[in-house]
Amino acid sequence: MADTMKQQEAALTAESEPEEQVEPAEESDPSPARPSPSPNIFDTGLSTIAAYQRAAFRTGFTRDLAFRRQSLKALRKAIVTAEKDILAAMHADLGRPKTEAYTSEIALLLHEIDVTLKKLRGWSKPRRVRSPLVSLRSASRIEAEPYGSALIIAPWNYPFQLALGPLIPAIAAGNCAVVKPSESAPESAAVIARIIRETFKPHHVAVFEGEADVSRTLLDQRFDLIFYTGGTAVGRTVMAAAARHLTPVILELGGKNPCFVTADADLDIAARRIAWGKFVNAGQTCIAPDFVLADASIKDALQEKLIETIAKFYGDVPKASPDFGRIVNERHFDRLTALMEGAEIVAGGESDRAERYIAPTLVTGIDWSHPLMAGEIFGPVLPIMAYEDLDTELIILKNRPKPLALYVFSGDRATQERILAHLPSGGAAINDTLSQVVNTRLPFGGIGESGMGAYHGKAGFDAFSHQRAIVRRALKPEGGMIYPPYKTPLWVLRRMVRFF
Protein backbone atom coordinates (compact mmCIF):
# COMPACT_ATOMS: atom_id res chain seq x y z
CA MET A 1 0.00 0.00 0.00
CA ALA A 2 2.76 2.46 0.99
CA ASP A 3 4.78 1.55 -2.13
CA THR A 4 1.73 2.10 -4.34
CA MET A 5 1.12 5.52 -2.83
CA LYS A 6 4.76 6.48 -3.40
CA GLN A 7 4.53 5.38 -7.05
CA GLN A 8 1.35 7.44 -7.58
CA GLU A 9 2.94 10.45 -5.92
CA ALA A 10 6.05 10.17 -8.07
CA ALA A 11 3.96 9.95 -11.22
CA LEU A 12 1.92 12.97 -10.26
CA THR A 13 5.05 14.96 -9.48
CA ALA A 14 6.60 13.99 -12.81
CA GLU A 15 3.54 15.34 -14.63
CA SER A 16 3.10 18.52 -12.64
CA GLU A 17 6.59 19.59 -11.58
CA PRO A 18 9.17 20.25 -14.29
CA GLU A 19 12.08 20.59 -11.86
CA GLU A 20 13.60 18.25 -9.31
CA GLN A 21 12.50 18.36 -5.69
CA VAL A 22 14.38 20.91 -3.60
CA GLU A 23 16.69 19.24 -1.12
CA PRO A 24 17.41 20.97 2.19
CA ALA A 25 20.78 22.65 2.44
CA GLU A 26 23.26 22.08 5.21
CA GLU A 27 22.56 24.15 8.31
CA SER A 28 25.58 26.38 7.63
CA ASP A 29 24.40 27.30 4.13
CA PRO A 30 22.41 30.56 4.22
CA SER A 31 20.17 29.58 1.32
CA PRO A 32 18.27 26.47 0.24
CA ALA A 33 20.15 24.15 -2.07
CA ARG A 34 18.47 24.47 -5.43
CA PRO A 35 19.22 24.81 -9.14
CA SER A 36 19.20 28.29 -10.63
CA PRO A 37 15.71 29.72 -11.04
CA SER A 38 13.91 28.89 -14.24
CA PRO A 39 14.29 31.74 -16.78
CA ASN A 40 10.50 31.95 -16.99
CA ILE A 41 8.55 30.82 -13.97
CA PHE A 42 5.34 31.42 -15.86
CA ASP A 43 6.01 28.07 -17.53
CA THR A 44 4.01 26.77 -14.58
CA GLY A 45 0.99 28.72 -15.81
CA LEU A 46 -1.02 31.32 -13.95
CA SER A 47 -4.23 29.33 -14.29
CA THR A 48 -2.68 26.09 -12.98
CA ILE A 49 -0.31 27.28 -10.28
CA ALA A 50 -2.43 26.02 -7.37
CA ALA A 51 -2.60 22.46 -8.70
CA TYR A 52 1.09 22.63 -9.62
CA GLN A 53 2.10 23.58 -6.08
CA ARG A 54 -0.27 21.10 -4.43
CA ALA A 55 1.32 18.29 -6.45
CA ALA A 56 4.75 19.42 -5.30
CA PHE A 57 3.55 19.80 -1.71
CA ARG A 58 2.34 16.19 -1.65
CA THR A 59 5.93 15.01 -2.12
CA GLY A 60 6.60 16.29 1.39
CA PHE A 61 9.64 18.43 0.60
CA THR A 62 8.38 21.41 2.65
CA ARG A 63 7.90 19.40 5.83
CA ASP A 64 11.60 19.11 6.58
CA LEU A 65 12.46 21.57 9.35
CA ALA A 66 15.97 22.21 8.03
CA PHE A 67 14.53 23.10 4.63
CA ARG A 68 12.10 25.58 6.17
CA ARG A 69 14.90 27.22 8.15
CA GLN A 70 17.16 27.50 5.12
CA SER A 71 14.29 28.96 3.09
CA LEU A 72 13.76 31.64 5.72
CA LYS A 73 17.48 32.39 5.84
CA ALA A 74 17.52 32.72 2.06
CA LEU A 75 14.60 35.15 2.21
CA ARG A 76 16.39 37.17 4.89
CA LYS A 77 19.56 37.34 2.81
CA ALA A 78 17.57 38.42 -0.25
CA ILE A 79 15.87 41.24 1.67
CA VAL A 80 19.18 42.52 3.04
CA THR A 81 20.78 42.33 -0.40
CA ALA A 82 17.90 44.21 -2.01
CA GLU A 83 17.71 46.93 0.67
CA LYS A 84 18.64 49.83 -1.65
CA ASP A 85 16.19 48.66 -4.32
CA ILE A 86 13.43 48.23 -1.73
CA LEU A 87 13.92 51.75 -0.38
CA ALA A 88 14.08 53.22 -3.90
CA ALA A 89 10.91 51.40 -4.94
CA MET A 90 8.95 52.64 -1.93
CA HIS A 91 10.12 56.18 -2.57
CA ALA A 92 9.00 55.92 -6.19
CA ASP A 93 5.59 54.46 -5.31
CA LEU A 94 4.78 56.35 -2.11
CA GLY A 95 7.42 59.02 -1.63
CA ARG A 96 8.47 57.31 1.56
CA PRO A 97 11.55 58.61 3.41
CA LYS A 98 14.30 56.03 3.90
CA THR A 99 14.17 56.00 7.69
CA GLU A 100 10.41 55.50 7.76
CA ALA A 101 10.50 52.86 5.04
CA TYR A 102 13.35 50.93 6.64
CA THR A 103 11.86 50.82 10.13
CA SER A 104 8.29 50.03 9.09
CA GLU A 105 9.09 47.52 6.35
CA ILE A 106 12.61 46.07 6.22
CA ALA A 107 13.35 46.09 9.96
CA LEU A 108 10.00 44.50 10.81
CA LEU A 109 10.51 41.76 8.21
CA LEU A 110 14.02 40.95 9.42
CA HIS A 111 12.84 40.88 13.03
CA GLU A 112 9.95 38.56 12.12
CA ILE A 113 12.34 36.17 10.37
CA ASP A 114 14.81 36.24 13.27
CA VAL A 115 12.10 35.49 15.83
CA THR A 116 10.71 32.71 13.65
CA LEU A 117 14.13 31.09 13.18
CA LYS A 118 14.72 31.21 16.92
CA LYS A 119 11.35 29.73 17.86
CA LEU A 120 10.52 27.47 14.92
CA ARG A 121 11.76 24.22 16.38
CA GLY A 122 9.66 24.69 19.49
CA TRP A 123 6.59 25.81 17.55
CA SER A 124 6.83 22.75 15.33
CA LYS A 125 7.03 20.17 18.13
CA PRO A 126 3.89 18.11 18.78
CA ARG A 127 2.11 19.15 21.97
CA ARG A 128 1.05 16.37 24.30
CA VAL A 129 -2.30 16.80 26.03
CA ARG A 130 -3.97 14.73 28.71
CA SER A 131 -6.32 11.94 27.68
CA PRO A 132 -9.58 11.32 29.55
CA LEU A 133 -9.83 8.25 31.73
CA VAL A 134 -12.52 6.84 29.48
CA SER A 135 -9.85 6.45 26.77
CA LEU A 136 -7.99 3.70 28.56
CA ARG A 137 -4.25 3.58 27.90
CA SER A 138 -4.20 6.25 25.23
CA ALA A 139 -1.86 9.13 24.42
CA SER A 140 -3.08 12.37 22.83
CA ARG A 141 -1.15 15.04 20.99
CA ILE A 142 -1.64 18.04 18.68
CA GLU A 143 0.53 18.40 15.60
CA ALA A 144 0.87 21.55 13.52
CA GLU A 145 0.47 20.52 9.87
CA PRO A 146 0.87 22.79 6.85
CA TYR A 147 -2.24 23.42 4.78
CA GLY A 148 -0.61 23.01 1.38
CA SER A 149 -0.53 25.85 -1.11
CA ALA A 150 -1.35 29.31 0.26
CA LEU A 151 -2.36 32.34 -1.79
CA ILE A 152 -1.16 35.69 -0.42
CA ILE A 153 -2.73 38.82 -1.94
CA ALA A 154 -0.97 41.96 -0.73
CA PRO A 155 -1.94 45.67 -0.71
CA TRP A 156 0.07 48.70 -1.83
CA ASN A 157 0.40 50.81 1.32
CA TYR A 158 3.14 48.72 2.99
CA PRO A 159 3.99 46.67 -0.09
CA PHE A 160 6.96 44.69 1.24
CA GLN A 161 5.88 44.11 4.81
CA LEU A 162 2.38 43.01 3.81
CA ALA A 163 3.52 40.76 0.96
CA LEU A 164 6.58 39.13 2.51
CA GLY A 165 5.33 39.32 6.11
CA PRO A 166 2.66 36.62 5.63
CA LEU A 167 5.10 34.63 3.49
CA ILE A 168 7.37 34.16 6.52
CA PRO A 169 4.87 32.09 8.59
CA ALA A 170 3.64 30.38 5.42
CA ILE A 171 7.16 29.04 4.80
CA ALA A 172 7.80 28.40 8.49
CA ALA A 173 4.69 26.24 8.76
CA GLY A 174 5.76 24.19 5.75
CA ASN A 175 3.47 25.50 3.03
CA CYS A 176 4.00 26.34 -0.59
CA ALA A 177 2.85 29.86 -1.48
CA VAL A 178 1.82 32.14 -4.31
CA VAL A 179 2.29 35.88 -3.77
CA LYS A 180 0.33 38.53 -5.66
CA PRO A 181 1.76 42.01 -4.95
CA SER A 182 -0.36 45.08 -5.58
CA GLU A 183 -0.35 46.62 -9.03
CA SER A 184 -0.88 50.04 -7.40
CA ALA A 185 2.73 50.02 -6.19
CA PRO A 186 4.40 48.83 -9.42
CA GLU A 187 8.03 49.56 -8.51
CA SER A 188 7.67 47.68 -5.23
CA ALA A 189 5.86 44.82 -6.96
CA ALA A 190 8.75 44.45 -9.40
CA VAL A 191 11.31 44.21 -6.60
CA ILE A 192 9.14 41.75 -4.65
CA ALA A 193 8.83 39.60 -7.77
CA ARG A 194 12.57 39.65 -8.33
CA ILE A 195 13.32 38.71 -4.72
CA ILE A 196 10.96 35.73 -4.86
CA ARG A 197 12.05 34.50 -8.28
CA GLU A 198 15.74 34.66 -7.39
CA THR A 199 15.25 33.02 -4.00
CA PHE A 200 12.70 30.25 -4.55
CA LYS A 201 11.68 27.71 -7.12
CA PRO A 202 8.10 28.23 -8.31
CA HIS A 203 6.84 24.90 -7.00
CA HIS A 204 7.70 26.25 -3.53
CA VAL A 205 7.04 30.02 -3.76
CA ALA A 206 5.77 31.68 -6.91
CA VAL A 207 4.87 35.29 -7.64
CA PHE A 208 2.54 36.83 -10.20
CA GLU A 209 2.33 40.53 -10.98
CA GLY A 210 -0.52 42.18 -12.83
CA GLU A 211 -3.87 43.89 -12.57
CA ALA A 212 -7.07 42.72 -10.92
CA ASP A 213 -7.63 40.05 -13.58
CA VAL A 214 -4.56 38.20 -12.27
CA SER A 215 -6.08 38.15 -8.78
CA ARG A 216 -9.37 36.89 -10.20
CA THR A 217 -7.61 34.08 -12.06
CA LEU A 218 -5.80 33.08 -8.89
CA LEU A 219 -9.00 33.19 -6.84
CA ASP A 220 -10.73 30.91 -9.32
CA GLN A 221 -8.29 28.14 -8.38
CA ARG A 222 -8.46 25.85 -5.36
CA PHE A 223 -5.82 26.90 -2.88
CA ASP A 224 -5.59 25.40 0.59
CA LEU A 225 -5.52 28.78 2.35
CA ILE A 226 -6.06 32.37 1.22
CA PHE A 227 -4.46 35.32 3.02
CA TYR A 228 -5.75 38.71 1.89
CA THR A 229 -4.80 42.17 3.12
CA GLY A 230 -6.78 45.13 1.83
CA GLY A 231 -10.16 46.79 1.88
CA THR A 232 -13.38 45.38 3.27
CA ALA A 233 -15.24 45.46 -0.07
CA VAL A 234 -12.62 43.34 -1.84
CA GLY A 235 -12.40 41.18 1.28
CA ARG A 236 -16.00 40.14 0.70
CA THR A 237 -15.13 39.21 -2.89
CA VAL A 238 -12.18 37.13 -1.70
CA MET A 239 -14.32 35.36 0.88
CA ALA A 240 -17.01 34.61 -1.72
CA ALA A 241 -14.39 33.14 -4.07
CA ALA A 242 -12.95 31.04 -1.25
CA ALA A 243 -16.41 29.73 -0.38
CA ARG A 244 -16.65 28.00 -3.77
CA HIS A 245 -13.90 25.61 -2.68
CA LEU A 246 -14.51 25.86 1.09
CA THR A 247 -11.03 27.34 1.39
CA PRO A 248 -10.14 28.84 4.78
CA VAL A 249 -9.34 32.54 4.69
CA ILE A 250 -7.42 35.05 6.74
CA LEU A 251 -8.65 38.57 6.05
CA GLU A 252 -6.66 41.57 7.25
CA LEU A 253 -8.94 44.47 6.39
CA GLY A 254 -9.34 48.06 7.55
CA GLY A 255 -11.62 50.06 9.72
CA LYS A 256 -12.47 53.47 11.06
CA ASN A 257 -10.15 53.52 14.05
CA PRO A 258 -11.27 55.85 16.87
CA CYS A 259 -8.82 57.73 19.06
CA PHE A 260 -10.16 58.97 22.41
CA VAL A 261 -8.47 61.81 24.26
CA THR A 262 -9.96 62.39 27.72
CA ALA A 263 -9.77 65.50 29.86
CA ASP A 264 -6.95 64.15 32.02
CA ALA A 265 -4.69 63.07 29.13
CA ASP A 266 -1.15 64.40 28.72
CA LEU A 267 -1.79 66.59 25.67
CA ASP A 268 1.85 67.04 24.66
CA ILE A 269 2.42 63.28 24.50
CA ALA A 270 -0.99 62.65 22.94
CA ALA A 271 -0.36 65.20 20.18
CA ARG A 272 3.05 63.74 19.30
CA ARG A 273 1.90 60.14 19.25
CA ILE A 274 -1.35 60.83 17.42
CA ALA A 275 0.36 62.96 14.77
CA TRP A 276 3.05 60.34 14.22
CA GLY A 277 0.56 57.48 14.02
CA LYS A 278 -1.71 59.38 11.66
CA PHE A 279 0.78 60.98 9.26
CA VAL A 280 3.38 58.24 8.87
CA ASN A 281 3.17 57.01 5.26
CA ALA A 282 0.94 60.02 4.56
CA GLY A 283 -1.87 58.45 6.57
CA GLN A 284 -2.03 55.36 4.36
CA THR A 285 -1.89 52.93 7.27
CA CYS A 286 -4.70 50.53 8.11
CA ILE A 287 -4.19 50.95 11.86
CA ALA A 288 -3.73 54.74 11.81
CA PRO A 289 -6.03 56.82 14.04
CA ASP A 290 -8.87 57.62 11.68
CA PHE A 291 -10.50 60.33 13.81
CA VAL A 292 -10.09 61.89 17.23
CA LEU A 293 -12.83 62.13 19.83
CA ALA A 294 -11.62 64.68 22.37
CA ASP A 295 -13.30 65.77 25.58
CA ALA A 296 -14.89 69.15 24.86
CA SER A 297 -12.91 70.79 27.68
CA ILE A 298 -9.55 70.05 26.03
CA LYS A 299 -10.48 69.76 22.34
CA ASP A 300 -9.16 73.21 21.35
CA ALA A 301 -5.98 72.79 23.38
CA LEU A 302 -5.31 69.40 21.77
CA GLN A 303 -5.95 70.91 18.36
CA GLU A 304 -3.31 73.59 18.96
CA LYS A 305 -0.85 70.99 20.21
CA LEU A 306 -1.39 68.96 17.05
CA ILE A 307 -0.80 72.02 14.86
CA GLU A 308 2.45 72.72 16.69
CA THR A 309 3.51 69.09 16.42
CA ILE A 310 2.91 68.93 12.66
CA ALA A 311 5.13 72.00 12.24
CA LYS A 312 7.85 70.39 14.37
CA PHE A 313 7.66 67.15 12.40
CA TYR A 314 7.47 68.50 8.86
CA GLY A 315 8.26 72.22 9.01
CA ASP A 316 6.11 75.11 7.89
CA VAL A 317 5.99 73.68 4.36
CA PRO A 318 5.48 69.89 4.67
CA LYS A 319 5.62 69.59 0.89
CA ALA A 320 9.33 70.37 1.09
CA SER A 321 9.96 67.96 3.96
CA PRO A 322 12.00 64.86 3.10
CA ASP A 323 10.12 63.04 5.87
CA PHE A 324 6.57 63.24 4.51
CA GLY A 325 5.28 60.82 1.90
CA ARG A 326 2.88 61.01 -1.03
CA ILE A 327 -0.49 59.57 -2.00
CA VAL A 328 -0.14 56.36 -3.98
CA ASN A 329 -2.00 57.53 -7.13
CA GLU A 330 -4.31 60.15 -8.60
CA ARG A 331 -7.45 58.13 -7.92
CA HIS A 332 -6.84 58.10 -4.19
CA PHE A 333 -5.73 61.74 -4.33
CA ASP A 334 -9.06 62.73 -5.90
CA ARG A 335 -11.00 60.68 -3.38
CA LEU A 336 -9.27 62.37 -0.44
CA THR A 337 -9.62 65.92 -1.72
CA ALA A 338 -13.32 65.32 -2.36
CA LEU A 339 -13.78 64.10 1.21
CA MET A 340 -12.45 67.38 2.60
CA GLU A 341 -15.10 69.49 0.88
CA GLY A 342 -17.33 71.27 3.37
CA ALA A 343 -15.07 70.62 6.34
CA GLU A 344 -13.48 73.35 8.44
CA ILE A 345 -9.74 73.00 7.88
CA VAL A 346 -7.69 74.24 10.82
CA ALA A 347 -4.30 73.06 9.56
CA GLY A 348 -2.97 71.94 6.21
CA GLY A 349 -5.41 71.39 3.38
CA GLU A 350 -2.90 72.22 0.63
CA SER A 351 -2.60 69.75 -2.22
CA ASP A 352 -0.80 69.22 -5.53
CA ARG A 353 -2.24 66.59 -7.84
CA ALA A 354 0.83 66.49 -10.08
CA GLU A 355 2.96 65.45 -7.11
CA ARG A 356 0.20 63.44 -5.41
CA TYR A 357 0.75 65.63 -2.35
CA ILE A 358 -1.79 66.35 0.38
CA ALA A 359 -0.55 68.22 3.42
CA PRO A 360 -1.02 66.85 6.93
CA THR A 361 -4.53 68.16 7.52
CA LEU A 362 -6.69 68.71 10.58
CA VAL A 363 -10.40 69.28 10.12
CA THR A 364 -13.13 70.14 12.58
CA GLY A 365 -16.73 71.33 12.54
CA ILE A 366 -18.09 68.00 11.28
CA ASP A 367 -20.42 65.39 12.71
CA TRP A 368 -21.20 61.75 12.00
CA SER A 369 -23.13 62.67 8.84
CA HIS A 370 -20.09 64.15 7.06
CA PRO A 371 -18.51 62.03 4.26
CA LEU A 372 -15.23 61.95 6.20
CA MET A 373 -16.99 59.90 8.85
CA ALA A 374 -18.65 57.45 6.47
CA GLY A 375 -15.69 55.18 5.88
CA GLU A 376 -11.96 54.72 6.38
CA ILE A 377 -10.09 57.86 5.31
CA PHE A 378 -6.74 56.22 4.55
CA GLY A 379 -4.90 59.49 4.02
CA PRO A 380 -3.36 62.46 5.87
CA VAL A 381 -6.68 63.98 6.94
CA LEU A 382 -7.57 63.85 10.63
CA PRO A 383 -11.05 64.90 11.83
CA ILE A 384 -11.20 66.17 15.40
CA MET A 385 -14.58 65.97 17.10
CA ALA A 386 -15.54 67.06 20.60
CA TYR A 387 -17.67 65.00 22.96
CA GLU A 388 -19.60 66.14 26.03
CA ASP A 389 -20.55 62.74 27.37
CA LEU A 390 -18.32 59.70 27.00
CA ASP A 391 -21.18 57.23 27.42
CA THR A 392 -23.02 58.75 24.46
CA GLU A 393 -19.98 58.32 22.20
CA LEU A 394 -19.49 54.75 23.36
CA ILE A 395 -23.09 53.93 22.44
CA ILE A 396 -22.66 55.50 18.98
CA LEU A 397 -19.44 53.61 18.30
CA LYS A 398 -20.79 50.36 19.67
CA ASN A 399 -23.38 50.41 16.89
CA ARG A 400 -20.80 50.97 14.16
CA PRO A 401 -18.55 48.33 12.54
CA LYS A 402 -15.77 47.04 14.79
CA PRO A 403 -12.49 48.79 13.97
CA LEU A 404 -9.08 47.28 13.37
CA ALA A 405 -7.54 49.49 16.07
CA LEU A 406 -8.68 51.49 19.08
CA TYR A 407 -6.65 54.20 20.79
CA VAL A 408 -7.20 55.76 24.19
CA PHE A 409 -5.23 58.65 25.67
CA SER A 410 -6.16 58.96 29.32
CA GLY A 411 -4.44 59.17 32.66
CA ASP A 412 -7.17 57.23 34.41
CA ARG A 413 -6.90 53.44 34.42
CA ALA A 414 -10.63 52.99 35.06
CA THR A 415 -11.51 55.13 32.02
CA GLN A 416 -9.05 53.21 29.86
CA GLU A 417 -10.55 49.87 30.86
CA ARG A 418 -14.10 51.20 30.52
CA ILE A 419 -13.54 52.18 26.88
CA LEU A 420 -11.78 48.88 26.13
CA ALA A 421 -14.64 46.93 27.71
CA HIS A 422 -17.33 48.73 25.70
CA LEU A 423 -15.67 48.83 22.27
CA PRO A 424 -14.40 45.63 20.60
CA SER A 425 -11.54 46.09 18.14
CA GLY A 426 -8.88 44.06 16.38
CA GLY A 427 -6.21 45.54 18.63
CA ALA A 428 -5.73 48.53 20.90
CA ALA A 429 -3.11 50.79 22.42
CA ILE A 430 -3.33 52.94 25.52
CA ASN A 431 -1.49 56.28 25.43
CA ASP A 432 0.16 55.30 22.16
CA THR A 433 -0.58 54.54 18.50
CA LEU A 434 0.56 51.73 16.19
CA SER A 435 2.67 50.04 18.89
CA GLN A 436 0.38 46.99 19.04
CA VAL A 437 1.67 45.88 15.65
CA VAL A 438 5.36 45.93 16.59
CA ASN A 439 5.37 43.23 19.29
CA THR A 440 5.65 39.83 17.56
CA ARG A 441 4.34 38.21 20.75
CA LEU A 442 0.98 39.86 20.07
CA PRO A 443 -1.38 38.57 17.36
CA PHE A 444 -2.31 41.11 14.71
CA GLY A 445 -5.74 40.85 13.14
CA GLY A 446 -9.20 42.30 12.85
CA ILE A 447 -12.68 41.50 14.07
CA GLY A 448 -15.99 41.71 12.24
CA GLU A 449 -15.67 43.93 9.17
CA SER A 450 -12.05 44.71 10.01
CA GLY A 451 -11.01 41.13 9.36
CA MET A 452 -10.72 37.58 10.63
CA GLY A 453 -7.73 35.57 11.72
CA ALA A 454 -4.44 36.91 13.03
CA TYR A 455 -0.72 36.56 12.43
CA HIS A 456 2.78 37.72 13.55
CA GLY A 457 5.08 35.48 15.54
CA LYS A 458 3.54 32.30 16.91
CA ALA A 459 0.08 33.50 15.84
CA GLY A 460 1.32 33.56 12.24
CA PHE A 461 2.74 30.04 12.44
CA ASP A 462 -0.58 28.84 13.88
CA ALA A 463 -2.56 30.70 11.21
CA PHE A 464 -0.77 28.81 8.44
CA SER A 465 -0.99 25.47 10.25
CA HIS A 466 -3.80 23.00 10.74
CA GLN A 467 -3.90 21.85 14.36
CA ARG A 468 -4.27 18.11 13.89
CA ALA A 469 -5.57 16.04 16.84
CA ILE A 470 -4.03 12.57 17.16
CA VAL A 471 -4.83 9.79 19.65
CA ARG A 472 -2.81 6.57 19.96
CA ARG A 473 -4.51 3.89 22.03
CA ALA A 474 -3.15 0.59 23.26
CA LEU A 475 -4.77 -2.62 21.97
CA LYS A 476 -5.55 -3.85 25.45
CA PRO A 477 -7.52 -3.71 27.69
CA GLU A 478 -10.58 -3.72 25.47
CA GLY A 479 -13.77 -2.63 27.25
CA GLY A 480 -17.04 -4.07 26.04
CA MET A 481 -19.68 -1.64 27.26
CA ILE A 482 -19.16 0.87 24.42
CA TYR A 483 -20.09 -1.66 21.75
CA PRO A 484 -23.59 -2.89 20.82
CA PRO A 485 -25.62 -4.58 22.05
CA TYR A 486 -25.80 -2.03 24.87
CA LYS A 487 -26.49 -3.63 28.22
CA THR A 488 -25.22 -1.11 30.77
CA PRO A 489 -28.14 0.64 32.57
CA LEU A 490 -28.38 4.41 32.17
CA TRP A 491 -28.03 5.00 35.91
CA VAL A 492 -24.65 3.28 35.80
CA LEU A 493 -23.59 5.38 32.79
CA ARG A 494 -24.62 8.59 34.55
CA ARG A 495 -22.44 7.72 37.55
CA MET A 496 -19.55 6.77 35.29
CA VAL A 497 -19.80 10.04 33.39
CA ARG A 498 -19.71 12.01 36.65
CA PHE A 499 -16.74 9.97 37.84
CA PHE A 500 -14.69 10.22 34.68
The CATH number of residue 104's host domain is: 3.40.605.10
Do 323 and 266 lie in a common domain? yes
Do 199 and 269 lie in a common domain? no
Residues that are catalytic? 252, 286
Number of domains composing the chain: 2
Do 190 and 320 lie in a common domain? no
Do 187 and 57 lie in a common domain? yes
The CATH number of residue 266's host domain is: 3.40.309.10
Do 440 and 397 lie in a common domain? yes
Do 40 and 103 lie in a common domain? yes
Taking 3-state DSSP, the helix, strand and coil percentages for the chain, each rounded to the nearest 5, stand at 45, 15, 35
Do 234 and 281 lie in a common domain? no
pLDDT at 3: 44
Could you read off the pLDDT of 179-235 as tens digits, one per residue?
999 999 999 999 999 999 999 999 999 999 999 999 999 999 999 999 999 999 999
Residue 251: CB partners within 8 Å, gap ≥ 6? 228, 235, 238, 239, 446, 451, 452, 453
Q: Is residue 151 part of a domain?
A: yes
Q: Is residue 192 part of a domain?
A: yes
Q: Which residues pair with 228 in a beta bridge?
A: 153, 251
268 pLDDT above the threshold of 60 = yes
Q: Is residue 5 part of a domain?
A: no
CA atoms of 425 and 92, how far apart (whole Å): 33
CA atoms of 79 and 114, how far apart (whole Å): 13
Could you read off the pLDDT of 315-324 as tens digits, one per residue?
999 999 999 9
**Closest to 299 measured CA to CA, from 379, 366, 232, 231:** 366
**Do 218 and 241 form a contact (C-beta atoms < 8 A)?**
no
9 pLDDT above the threshold of 70 = no
CA atoms of 33 and 41, how far apart (whole Å): 18
Q: Is residue 196 part of a domain?
A: yes
Could you read off the pLDDT of 341-388 as tens digits, one per residue?
888 999 999 999 999 999 999 999 999 999 999 999 999 999 999 999
Instruction: Determine the Cα angle at 67 with ends 63 and 70, to 5°.
Output: 145
Instruction: Kindly state the average pLDDT of the residues 263-284.
Output: 98
Do 204 and 316 lie in a common domain? no
Q: Is residue 6 part of a domain?
A: no
Q: Is residue 101 part of a domain?
A: yes
3-state secondary structure of 109: helix
Do 279 and 355 lie in a common domain? yes
pLDDT at 44: 65
What's the whole-number average pLDDT of the chain?
Answer: 90
Q: Are strands 149-153 and 225-229 parallel, antiparallel or unpaired?
A: parallel
pLDDT at 213: 94
3-state secondary structure of 237: helix
Do 143 and 279 lie in a common domain? no
Do 165 and 91 lie in a common domain? yes
Q: Is residue 478 part of a domain?
A: no
Q: Are strands 361-364 and 381-387 parallel, antiparallel or unpaired?
A: parallel
Q: Is residue 499 part of a domain?
A: no
Instruction: Kindly state the average pLDDT of the residues 14-23.
Output: 34
The whole domain housing 400 covers 258-444
Could you read off the pLDDT of 27-80 as tens digits, one per residue?
333 334 443 333 333 356 899 999 999 999 999 999 999 999 999 999 999 999
Under the banding of pLDDT at 50, 70 and 90, the label for residue 158 is very high
Q: The whole model's pTM is what?
A: 0.89
Do 206 and 241 lie in a common domain? yes
